Chain A
Amino acid sequence: MSTLSDPPVERFQLSQLINDTRYRSYTFQFIALILLVLFFAYLGSNLVNNLREAGLNISFGFLSEPAGYDINQRLLDYNSQDSHLRASFLGLINTLIIAVLGCFTATIIGVTVGVLRLSNNWLVAKIMAIYVEIFRNVPVLIWILIIMAIFTASLPHMRSFHGDDPENTFALFNTLAVTKQGVWFSEPMFSRSLGEISLFGSHSLRFDVSLDFVAIIAVLMASFFGARAWTKHANKVQQETGVRPNTSLVNLAIWFVPLIALLIILGFYLDGPTLTGRKLKPIDDGIYLRNSLIALWFALSIYTAAFIAENVRAGILAISKGQTEAAASLGLRPGRIMNLVILPQALRVIIPPLISQYLNLTKNSSLAIAVGYMDITGTLGGITLNQTGRAIECVLMLMLFYLTISLSISAIMNAYNNAVKLKER
């Protein structure tokens, strides 16, 4: 006979919630959560009550009303009779344009400056140090205004291109005009265009996609994978036979032959800018970038680049000197040491703070109205807010947009970080 009895079933008692260390932390977290929820519920009801007392209500109906104002720099079709939602959408696209352009140039300038600041050349290193200290220690708004002021004060007026004997003529084989108002340059056009497809019909979020553009992207992607496959093949052949097939010439051909063929098929040509012969708008056609866009882009880029340069410098200094020496003893030249040994390792240190810089740049782009660039803060958070008086709704939407943009940037960059970070096995 077994004398063993079942172990006593541990019965749960309420006092355990406080006394038992296994549950205690949960209890307090739960209480804190309840209090937090109550606090926000109180704030929310306070807001609703106050709004009701003031006779205001939260409504997003204004978004479908005609906006009534015009937007200068825009990528999509728009006129003052389109809805506030359309105007906000165009503002959002303008914000994205400046964010993408800014992050791209800031990275290039930042990495270059960061690397050069560590140069053994005393003069170059000091110049880069001065650049970093000047640009990151003056508020970005000031830079935006200074650069805009320099543009308007120093560049020739658009009207100087006008007349029988103009002071200025188009530069670079008639493809470029730089003026106080903005920059015109030639627009790529296709005489045998594939046309475009319109998405979302006549909805406020409608936009057209040029099929020519899609075709070019598709060919470029195919070239990218083709070039990669060829390099891989070359590596394989080299490993097997010791003779490396020619890669640079073949890759060049893979990149450019299909692209040029496609451009010829589509009938590629450059159009504009042209002189209209009118005094008020002497230059027309082509692509027109207003100086407000360029000044904002330039200011955000050089300002953020100063921070990125410091991140890059920190990343490089975090790699032990032994790596450089080891690479040098293998006979690598300094440029290749940087590209093949140092930077790939430094990226692990550089990427996380780089994400913050991208987010900063995107959020700083909301200063656009200082130079009259109509980003989402200028349209939805500016004119629409003012003309409709729907401050709470507009600000909420604005927060939501910026939050979405920022979280998307974070997600993309985190994915990239995971790809380059040290793989521990």
Chain B
Amino acid sequence: MKKSVFLGALTVAGLAAGAAAAGTIDDVKARGKLNCGVTTGLVGFAAPDANGEWGGFDVGVCRAVAAAVLGDPNAVEFVPTTGKTRFTALASGEIDMLARNTTWTFSRDVDLKFEFVGVNYYDGQGFMVPKELGVSSAKELDGATVCIQTGTTTELNLADFFRANNISYEPVPIETNAEAQPLYLEGACDVYTTDASGLAATRAAFENPGDHVLLPEIISKEPLGPLVRHGDNEWGDVVRWTLNALIAAEELGVTSANIADLSASAGDNPEVNRLLGTEGNLGEMIGLDADWAQKAISAGGNYGELFEKNIGENTPVGLARGLNGQWTDGGLLYSPPFR
């Protein structure tokens, strides 16, 4: 009995590893649907609306990839994943790509055998506390009870931060953002910590967002980006350059408003022409239609449009562009050239 249980688990693992090796792009085309891993619900990044339609900043990336590969931004099967299940889901082939506030780290890239295709949001870990606590710096949090999402890099950053500052705390590990929210609001923990963008998104969903403050300390670098499995470079290229196309489109002034005109015929800007497929054969090189990038950008607009629509300053989440501006505006977004 003991032996059979043991080996049964090995079999499952063995089969899972076997499934991961095939060409993902062919699988997606054959299936006619992109399986995209997202969060279980984080307002602004990935959350279903009242009609059950997924929307958000990360969801926008999924839709752009689906539009580029399949020509239909709605041909996406969204798979909600928790911090714990996301990597297994990707490694086992259950999802084709993961767009879920996932921090690009050395060990995830190298040891877990994933391929981060770029960064779609430059983030850092912050703290949110109730205003009535009267705390103005994270260094005053000695003895605090801290709610934290388990299975994330934030857990390790938190331990490092408190150790470096030689103050004590009590971690309360929580599986998902949705579970953490009531615990924090009920006062079961004094502090909620996660990526600053996630905190802003969470606070936006509160009844009285004004009662809570984000502390000024950002204790880590959290470059969040979409990722795919290691070893399937063609598929990695598709996702990487779809993301780059969104970023480049903003830099080049291609928006969902003018994209129809710009792609009708070759214009004056050769890079725009190459991007939109009216010149050159970039689409053929990547194994997609010539107008792949045009479809990707039309899906939800360029990077800047996605940002403003989902998490920008006019949305409840209310994030400023900051580091996530184009390099021409002093931000970190910099797409390699399309040529």
Interface, chain A (partner B; CB < 8 A): 40, 43-44, 46-47, 49-51, 53-56, 68-72, 79-81, 149, 152-153, 157, 159, 180-181, 276, 278-281, 284, 291-292, 369-370, 372, 374, 378, 382-383, 385-389, 391-392, 395-396, 399, 403
Contact = CB atoms under 8 A, between A and B. Distances in A.
Interface in B183-202: 183, 186-190
Contacts of B173: 72, 369, 372, 374, 378, 382-383
Interface stretch (B163-171, B253-261, B274-282, B324-332): B163-171
A177 to B, nearest CB: 15
Contacts of B13: 47, 51, 391-392
B159 A68 contact: yes
Contact of B186 (A43, A152, A378): A152
Contacts of B88: 391
B188 A291 contact: yes
Contact of B163 (A40, A80, A181): A80
Nearest to B112: A389
Contacts of B170: 72
15 contacts: A53-B17, A54-B21, A55-B113, A56-B113, A69-B155, A70-B158, A71-B171, A72-B170, A152-B187, A181-B188, A280-B135, A280-B143, A386-B151, A387-B155, A399-B5
Contacts of B151: 382-383, 386
Nearest to A391: B88
Given A47-B10, A383-B151, 13 more contacts: A40-B3, A46-B11, A47-B14, A51-B17, A56-B17, A68-B155, A68-B159, A69-B155, A280-B135, A280-B141, A292-B172, A382-B173, A383-B150
Contacts of A291: 188
B50 interface: no
Contact of B175 (A44, A284, A369, A385): A369
Contacts of A51: 13-14, 17
Nearest to B151: A386
Given A280-B190, A389-B87, A399-B6, A70 B17 contact: no
Nearest to A49: B14
Contact of A370 (B112, B159, B175): B175
Contacts of A388: 111
Nearest to A389: B112
Interface of B: 2-7, 9-11, 13-15, 17-18, 20-21, 83-84, 87-88, 107-108, 111-113, 133-135, 140-145, 150-152, 155-156, 158-160, 162-163, 169-175, 179, 182-183, 186-190, 230-231
Nearest to B87: A389
Contact of B188 (A44, A46, A152, A403): A152
Which of B134, B144, B155, B160: most chain A Cβ within 10 A?
B155
A43 B150 contact: no
Contacts of A284: 143
A407 to B, nearest CB: 9
A372 B172 contact: yes
Contacts of A153: 186
A50 B113 contact: no
Nearest to A373: B173
Which of A53, A180, A387, A396: most chain B Cβ within 10 A?
A387
B186 A180 contact: yes
A395 B9 contact: yes
Contacts of B159: 68-70, 80
A284 B145 CA distance: 13
B174 A180 contact: no
A43 B14 contact: yes
Contact of B171 (A44, A72, A278, A386): A72
Contacts of A44: 7, 10
Contacts of A278: 142-143
B171 to A, nearest CB: 5
Which of B10, B133, B151: most chain A Cβ within 10 A?
B10
Contact of B155 (A47, A279, A372, A383): A383
B108 to A, nearest CB: 8
Nearest to B185: A152
A382 B133 contact: no
Contacts of B163: 79-81
Which of B7, B20, B182: most chain A Cβ within 10 A?
B7
Contacts of B87: 386, 389
A385 to B, nearest CB: 8
Contacts of B7: 40, 43-44
Contacts of B230: 55
Contact of A181 (B4, B18, B133, B145): B145
Contacts of B107: 387, 389
A387 B4 CA distance: 28
A372 B174 contact: yes
A379 B48 CA distance: 31
Contact of B9 (A55, A374, A383, A396): A396
B207 to A, nearest CB: 16
B143 to A, nearest CB: 3
Contacts of A69: 155-156, 159, 171
Contacts of A72: 170-173
B113 to A, nearest CB: 6
Nearest to A73: B170
Contact of A54 (B15, B17, B187): B17
Nearest to B186: A152
A235 to B, nearest CB: 46
A382 B85 CA distance: 10
A200 B338 CA distance: 62
Nearest to B155: A69
A273 to B, nearest CB: 14
B339 to A, nearest CB: 33
A370 to B, nearest CB: 7
Contacts of B182: 149, 152
A389 B87 CA distance: 8
A284 to B, nearest CB: 8
Contacts of A180: 186-188
A281 B189 CA distance: 11
Contacts of A281: 142-144
Given A72-B170, A157-B187, A280-B141, A399 B9 contact: yes
Which of B159, B160, B174, B182: most chain A Cβ within 10 A?
B159
A385 B84 CA distance: 9
B187 A50 contact: no
B57 to A, nearest CB: 24
Given A72-B171, A372-B172, A47 B84 contact: no
